Chains A and B, each alone.
Chain A
């Protein structure tokens, strides 16, 4: 409890400090003329958006795998070699999925 109280107090202090400093600092007015900014509309093609979302989904899957590996890594030294081979299979699956992704991306680029 004491440990997290420290984290909590420090976080509150840093937020308070930044809020106060943000309020104190008054932004100086510049003498330069302020021209109207031309907002350039930016459209992405639909396919491009889908590709980006696909990449986000894939990387979130890898994140999930990372989170699955995290508790195992903390007790890895205490476990036997049997557990090592089990996780090895898991990592090999990860590698194969990556190879599949790599091949698919290459094909799309060629096309």
Chain B
């Protein structure tokens, strides 16, 4: 992709277009790529969830839900509040070594804040949907679930001392094995993070089912987009955990399949980029399937019990995880 960008910028300067216009055109291209990826992958995840759990029943709508949507349909700001950050998240993902739509030195922080914001927005809408005084409960539930997840991410920053997602992935490529991935030192962190995602999703779905603003039984196109953004949220959270703990776009075999047969330098290098995108999407799809499977199991447990497990077991474990992540670099590093 960097070759592509260089070629693109060179041709633009030859034509006489200024760098600023070129940058904007490049971002428009990247944005269209992100929108395309959003629609395809969130549809795939929705299909998987439909097959595994059979939750989505788009054809049947109850009268109460129609009423709630009648209220919601003219509420454009709330739609933008959820849909715009979901699209923005797709730009922050390091798809390959050189292709990141929005390269940023603090991409981890940006990613985490937007992910938390989206989780909170969904939980808020779900819990407040019918009952007005539930906002405080939504906030306290959210904070109790999100804290262990944040502490587990802090362990990764201790290990890599970077806030850039691409740098974190490159740190994992120093050892060209699966042992180089950060899941080996921060195994607690990985499980805490995944369980946190699963529990917040199960909390969400419980509320979504109860509240009148149910996202699962509606045929309106705007709400369909909200459903898609919900599924993209599942995928994005798995992408984030893959980038942090499972090597991101790195191959699990330790070498790239496209480098086995040397045909042509340009062909091989361009094939590596596509392979990196393939590995990232494959890993995150597998993880999101696992998350969906766990989510269905988690729904059987009571809401209060889930939060208690997170607050009283996983939160102390996340502090232990930080201690482990602090000690590992002191004794020779990972």
Is B119 located at the chain interface by the 8 A CB criterion? no
- Cβ–Cβ contact A6 & B103, under 8 A: yes
CB within 8 Å for A19 and B80 given contacts A37-B68, A74-B163: yes
Give 16 new A-B contacts, CB below 8 A, not counting A34-B63, A88-B326. Answer: A6-B23, A6-B102, A18-B87, A27-B73, A28-B220, A28-B221, A36-B67, A37-B67, A42-B131, A59-B140, A66-B150, A73-B158, A74-B162, A76-B326, A77-B161, A98-B319
Which bucket holds chain A's interface residue count? 35 or more
In the bound complex, what is the Cα–Cα distance between A66 and B152 (angstroms)?
A: 11
- Cβ–Cβ contact A43 & B133, under 8 A: yes
Contact residues, A1-47 vs B (CB, 8 A)? 2-7, 9-11, 13-15, 17-19, 21-23, 25, 27-28, 30, 32-37, 39-40, 42-44
- Cβ–Cβ contact B80 & A84, under 8 A: no
Cβ contacts under 8 Å, B31 to chain A: 10, 13-14, 17
- Cβ–Cβ contact B91 & A22, under 8 A: no
In the bound complex, what is the Cα–Cα distance between A56 and B162 (angstroms)?
A: 29
B88 nearest CB neighbor, chain A only: A14
Contact residues, B281-334 vs A (CB, 8 A)? 312, 315-316, 319, 322-323, 326, 329-330
The contact string, 1 if C-beta is below 8 Å from chain B, for chain A 82-111, is: 001001100100110010001000000000
CB within 8 Å for A66 and B132 given contacts A3-B105, A14-B84: no
Would you call the interface of chain A mostly helix, strand, loop, or mixed?
Answer: helix
In the bound complex, what is the Cα–Cα distance between A14 and B131 (angstroms)?
A: 31
- Cβ–Cβ contact B154 & A77, under 8 A: no
- Cβ–Cβ contact A44 & B312, under 8 A: no
B69 nearest CB neighbor, chain A only: A27
A37 nearest CB neighbor, chain B only: B67
Is B212 located at the chain interface by the 8 A CB criterion? yes
Would you call the interface of chain B mostly helix, strand, loop, or mixed?
Answer: helix
Cβ contacts under 8 Å, B133 to chain A: 42-44
- Cβ–Cβ contact B28 & A22, under 8 A: no
> Would you give the shortest CB distance from B22 to chain A, in whole angstroms?
12
Chosen A-B contacts, 18 in total, with CB atoms closer than 8 Å, are A13-B27, A13-B31, A17-B87, A19-B80, A22-B80, A22-B83, A27-B69, A28-B221, A34-B63, A37-B212, A56-B136, A56-B140, A60-B143, A77-B329, A87-B326, A88-B323, A91-B322, A94-B319
> Would you give the shortest CB distance from A86 to chain B, in whole angstroms?
12
In the bound complex, what is the Cα–Cα distance between A85 and B23 (angstroms)?
A: 47
Is B64 located at the chain interface by the 8 A CB criterion? yes
Is B258 located at the chain interface by the 8 A CB criterion? no
- Cβ–Cβ contact A17 & B329, under 8 A: no
Q: Which of A3, A10, A52, A66 contacts B27 (CB 8 A)?
A: A10
Cβ contacts under 8 Å, B131 to chain A: 40, 42
Cβ contacts under 8 Å, B326 to chain A: 76, 84, 87-88
A28 nearest CB neighbor, chain B only: B220
- Cβ–Cβ contact A3 & B161, under 8 A: no
Cβ contacts under 8 Å, A44 to chain B: 133, 136-137
CB within 8 Å for A10 and B30 given contacts A18-B87, A49-B136: yes
Cβ contacts under 8 Å, B61 to chain A: 30, 32
CB within 8 Å for A98 and B315 given contacts A25-B225, A74-B163: yes
> Would you give the shortest CB distance from B144 to chain A, in whole angstroms?
6
> Would you give the shortest CB distance from A7 to chain B, in whole angstroms?
5
Is B196 located at the chain interface by the 8 A CB criterion? no
Q: Which of A9, A18, A39 contacts B83 (CB 8 A)?
A: A18
> Would you give the shortest CB distance from A69 to chain B, in whole angstroms?
6
Is B257 located at the chain interface by the 8 A CB criterion? no
- Cβ–Cβ contact B105 & A70, under 8 A: no
In the bound complex, what is the Cα–Cα distance between A73 and B160 (angstroms)?
A: 9
